[in-house]
Every structure is written in structure tokens, then in C-alpha cells.
Structure 1
Amino acid sequence: MIGFSAEPPARPVADHTAAPAPGEGADVLVHQALVYRTRRELELTAVPYLRAGCRGGEAVVVVAAPEVTAFLGGRLGAETASHVEFLDAGGWFGGPMHALATCFDRTRADWWPRGRVRLLTEPVWTGRTALEVREWKRHEAILNVAFAGTPTAIMCLYDASALPGHVVADASRTHPELAGPDGSVPSAHFTDPADFYDECNTVPLSQPPAAAACKAFSTGELPALRDFLAAEAGRLGLPGDRSLPFVLAVNEVATNIIREGGGRGALWVWAEDGELLCDVSDPGRVLTDRFLGYAPPHGRRRHEAAMWAVRRLCHIVEIRTGVDGTRLRMHVKL
């Protein structure tokens, strides 16, 4: 494989050591979907949810479009709204891993130290490619694993009057609970995150185009590989200040292949649809930990730290693994 599972695989659990010692039941993740069609339906469920967090002294955060935050702020009233942090969804939801990493950064630094955090979020689905939509759905499923055992409540908003039907339908599969004005109920269609993850991988990776630049690598060849990557990034139009993160991400994968995986591999680099893409192939092993790199690393587990860094440095990382080995595709926006 890519070399990131030298240790026995384990589903990541968020490290919330910055949070104070929780009380009974405080470390239970609550992850709900609120499907609504009108502002009135949104108000009847979202406003009591936010008010309950304010009354309980929780860190209450809304991540939504400006018109939604303005609406909710008005319904909460000035005094209650002053205890809520309102964030613009446009900046927050730049990409699935960007949103996940930003959430971890803020919860550990600002929100968990105050106790429990209560999030109300409305992901941005419009203007996404088919790949991005699939990865956002996967992101919703992974939240159940990445934030398990943490003092976190998340309510995700789905406007059924505006979103595609398949996006709304999958909300009931990626959220354990469905919220409504009379409270929440278990979702009858909730799917185990591991199974949902595998479903997202049923779409095969296309083969690199014939014009893609290709390079094999093995022990002792990493400096030349980094030079090759930097040159290709520049040739294909990646701005100079963003070349280093791309080179670092690919170098991290190649390093792990050499040290812990099959010992040698090959990669292809090309540009397509406004993205710089890099495929890295390792025929040596099979990746067994689906959720590797979706939560901050624990202790000195290098394989966790490596994939956490790789995912943060890229827009999207796709992985396909099987009897023939593993292929990892990194996407970086040009």
C-alpha cells in the first residue's frame, strides 16, 4: 500500500485534550440533519437548538450563508445572538478536508476549552463538481468517526427546496439522527460510515492521460523526484507560492512507500479541468484503514501524521486499494 498502515489500523478518534474534564454524557457526539423547505421550518427547529446551547453555556457556532445567519440572528434576538459565533459558509466550506481540519483547529483551540461545542452548519453544495459532491457526502459520514467521543453537537441544514434530491436523500444515510420541531428521531436509513465510505469508492479512478508526465522512484531518488514535481507544477500553471505544498504532499506519500510500503513506486502528473493532479501507485500492499488521515494524529504514529498532512495540503485525496496494490490521486486547484 502507500505505506501508511504499518501499525494496526484503527478508526481515528479526535483528541480533545484541550477540553476540560467533561461531565456525565458530555463526550457523546450528536450529529443530526435538519431537512427543511421554508424559513419557518428552519426557525422552528434551529432556533430552539441554538438557544438551548446558549442556556447551557456551550460554545455555540453557526456556519451558514449570510442571509441564513442574518435570519437566525434576528429570530434569536440581539441578546441571545451576542453569545453565538456566526461564520460565513463560503470561507469555511472551501473543500471537505479544509472544513474538517478547520473545525478541528477551532474546536481544540477555542471551543472545547469552554466545554461542549454546538454547531449549526449548512454545507455549500451548489457549484460543485460530481467528485466534490461525492466527497462532501463522504465528509458527512466521516464526521461520525472523526468526532466520536468528543463534546460536540452538530446539526447540518439541508434546504430540500433548493438541493438535488440525491443530496437530501443521503443526508438520512450520513446522519444518525433527523431533527425536527418536536425533537430528533433516529434515522432509519443511517448507514455505517465504513460502508458509506466504500460506496463512494465504487466509482473507479480514470487512467492518467497519455500526455501525463511519469516518473518511477525508489530509495535514494527523492531529491530528484522533488525537482521533477516542482518543474511539472510550474509547467502546468500552479502558482509558485502553492508549489511547495504540492511537492511536500507528494513527497510524503513517496517517502512512506519507500520506508513502509512496497519500497518503490511510480507517479503521473497532469492538469485537467482547472486542477493539478498527481497519481501515485504502490503495487506493494493493500490499505486497510479507510479513515486514515481524517483526524489529527495521536502521539507519534507517523502513518497518521503523514496522511493528515497530505490531506490538508490537497483539495481532495482519492484512494483506491485492492489486490493489485494502492493508487492515490491528489487534487490541487490551479
Structure 2
Amino acid sequence: MNAFTGTGDATGRGGAPGPYAATGRDALVHRALLHRTDREFATAAVPYLREGRRDGDALVVIASAAFGDLLREQLGERDAAPIEFPDRDAWFAGPMHAFAAYHDRARADWWPRGRLRLLVQPVWEGRTALEVSEWKRHEALINVMFAGTPTSMLCAYDAAALPGGVLTDAMRTHPELQDAGGVHPSGRFTDPADVYAECNAAPLAPPPPDAARRIFASGELPGLRAFLRGEAVRHGLPDAACLPFVLAVNEIATGIIRDGGGHGSLWVWTEGRELVCDLTDPAFALDDRFLGYAPPRGGRRGEAAMWAVRRLCHIVEIRSGAHGTRVRMHVRLPG
């Protein structure tokens, strides 16, 4: 497994992405619900869930405790009984954490029962600028990764409380909108590939001057792993998180040695409440089209590697071009 072979043009089901606003029971529906009051939310959400119960869909609500209680009250015990209510904060701990959870649960449990009907309330409060950008990317990629699957997803956005930029992005990442006037196509919907490219448009800032640096090449991975563990411990990463961090960095370094330019550089530092690690390959350009956002297909080890790396980290940033490739991995520190 390594991150420098294969392509990232994955859909999650092994086929070409279908129409983003396709109709029919087996097509993805991805809709943003723009509401200003609890009443507006319930007026849209309750019929949506009752319709799913009538059709025998797998029903899942990932929302705040207050919205969960509101829905149970409005639906009544009988209609609320089949609904699964996963913990919202745990589910939305990070963009890739949520993606992986969707993939895992849908394949193991929800799709085998028929069509999946999701009502979600994404968490935007308290996010850093990078996290907001990654969640925007997440919403755009839903249209690609779950195209052609029996999935309906209604994403609730509080238009009275959320920043205007978040609401504008909701219109750009959801093919359909629902508001007090009903359901209609989003005139601002943007191709997910373009949204993805926008998220990668800004260059990564260089590592700070006090970042620990290491140069590596073939035969030096054991020493690199020991160095990484030492830095992780020094910066306060808990023991349980050290191994995933070292494995993620080792996966990228292995790809650079085996399939990239053969050697690279690494920097480690802290930034806010995160441990950050940069790896650079000065000679190899990486195909980063949706790479690592869907489970790997067949023997595509590049997809497998980046799927694993993204799951092991909070956020992974990639910048690649004529001057090589930089991969920046973020893991959370306690506190």
C-alpha cells in the first residue's frame, strides 16, 4: 500500500458518477434545508421522515439533542421508533471521520435494508477556517461518492444563525434546496470537482522556523518512525494516538520512496491544538482527484493508502504540481 500510485477518481461504488440531481428510488438525493425557525425545520423534516417510514427506508437522524427531542415530539412514539439517532458530536468529529462512518454503516447496515434516508444537521460552530473549508469539500464530495446509491440526504442549515458564507456554500454543494417556498433546484450548484479545486487553490504556508526537520530516503524508515514517535510524545500526543500518526506518515514516506522521487523531507510542529506533519517529494506530481475519500476498489493501492491515511488523521491537505508534492497531515492534540 502506498499513496503514490493509482488515481483518485472514485465514486464509492466503483462506477462513474451519476447525475447529481437524478430522480428515482435508487438515485442519490442531496438537498439543503434552509430554515429560520424550529417550526420551519419540523415542517420539512417530519413529512420527510414519515414518507421514509411509509416506504420502509432505513431512517437515520444525526442532529442536536434539541432537534432530536423536537422530532420525537412531533412524530410521536410510533413514527419515531424506527429512527436511529447517532451522537451528532461524535459523528461529525472530523470530515473524514464522518465520510468513513457513512461508508461503513451504509454498506454494513443501512443499504442492505433498502433505501437510506438521512436527516443531518452539520456542525459549523467552533470550526477553524481550515475545518470549514474541509467540511465544504465534504458536502461537495457527497454528490460524487454516493452518486448512484439508494440514498436520500436532507442537510439542515439554520439560515438565521449561520454565517452567510456557509449558506452560500450550501447552495453550491447541494443540487436541491428546500425552504419555506418548497423544493427547487439550486441555481448556484457547482461541479464538485470545481469546489474541490477551490479548496486546494491556496498554497500551504511553509513550516515554521522551529519545526523539527528530517530528510529520508530508502532504508531510513525505521529511524524516521522513531523520530516521529519521539516528536509526537514531546508535543503531548497521547500514546493511543501516536501509532496512528506514525503509521499515516510512514505510509506517505513509503510511497515517496517506492513510487515517487525516492527521497523526501519531513517537518513536524504544533499549530494551535494540532500536531502537524509535512512531507515533500520534490520530483513527483500526485494525481489528487478525490483521492482517498472512498474505500479502495480492487487492487488500487494508491486509493487504499490514501483512504487509510485520511482515516488516521483529522485532516490531510495535498498540494501537487510541477514542483513536486506536499502532503500535510493534521492530528488533534488533547486539551
TM-score normalised by structure 2 residue count: 0.93
AA of the residue aligned to 1:176: P
Kindly state the Cα deviation for residue 143 of structure 1 after the two structures are TM-superposed: 0.8
Q: Who is 2:109 aligned against? A: 110
1:206-258 alpha-carbon deviations (Å, 9 max, x no partner): 11011111111111111111111111111111111210000000000011111
**Amino acid paired to 1:94:** A
2:241 is equivalent to residue 281 of structure 1: no
1:325 deviates by 1.0
Q: What's 1:52 paired with?
A: 51
Aligned to 2:13: 14
Q: CA deviation at 1:169?
A: 1.2
User: Is the Cα–Cα contact under 8 Å of residues 3 and 251 in structure 2 kept in the other structure?
Assistant: no
The count of residues paired between Structure 1 and Structure 2 equals 326
* Contact 1:15–1:296, Cα closer than 8 Å, also in 2: no
What residue in structure 2 maps to residue 99 of structure 1? 98
- Stretches of structure 1 lacking an aligned partner (at least 5 in a row): 17-23
1:20 — aligned with what?
none
Which residue is 1:294 aligned to?
293
Q: How does 1:172-191 map to 2 (within 5 A)?
A: 172-180=171-179, 183-191=182-190
Query: What is the CA deviation profile of residues 9-38 of structure 1, one whole-angstrom value per residue up to 9, with x for unaligned ones?
Result: 52333369xxxxxxx944311111001001
The residue number in structure 2 matching 1:309 is 308
| Contact 1:119 1:155 (8 Å CA) reproduced | yes
Residues 64-89 of structure 1 show CA distances to partners (whole Å, capped at 9, x for unaligned) of 00000110111111100001111221
Regions of 4+ moved over 4 Å: none
CA gap of 1:9–1:247, structure 2 versus 1, over 3 A, is closer
Does the aligned pair in 2 maintain the 1:32–1:179 contact within 8 Å? yes
- Aligned to 2:292, the other structure's residue is in SS state coil
Question: Alignment partner of 1:118: what SS?
Answer: strand
Q: Which residue of 2 aligns with 1:271?
A: 270
2:249 aligns to what? 250
RMSD: 1.8
- The equivalent of 1:19 in structure 2 is none
Structure 2: any 5+ residue segments left out of the alignment?
A: 16-22
Q: Which amino acid aligns with 2:301?
A: R
Contact in 1 for aligned 2:284/2:324 (Cα 8 Å): yes
SS in 2 for 1:163: coil
Instruction: Output aligned runs, 1:1-334, within 5 Å.
Output: 4=3, 6-14=5-13, 25-180=24-179, 183-334=182-333
Q: Which moved more, 1:60-69 or 1:83-92?
A: 83-92
CA contact (8 A) 1:64 1:122 kept: yes
C-alpha separation in 2, matches of 1:74 and 1:100: 29
Identity of matched residues, %: 61
Given the superposition, is the C-alpha separation of residues 8 and 62 from structure 1 closer, same or farther in structure 2, using an over 3 Å criterion? closer
Instruction: Give the AA of the match of 2:169.
Output: D
Aligned-pair CA distance for 1:108:
1.0
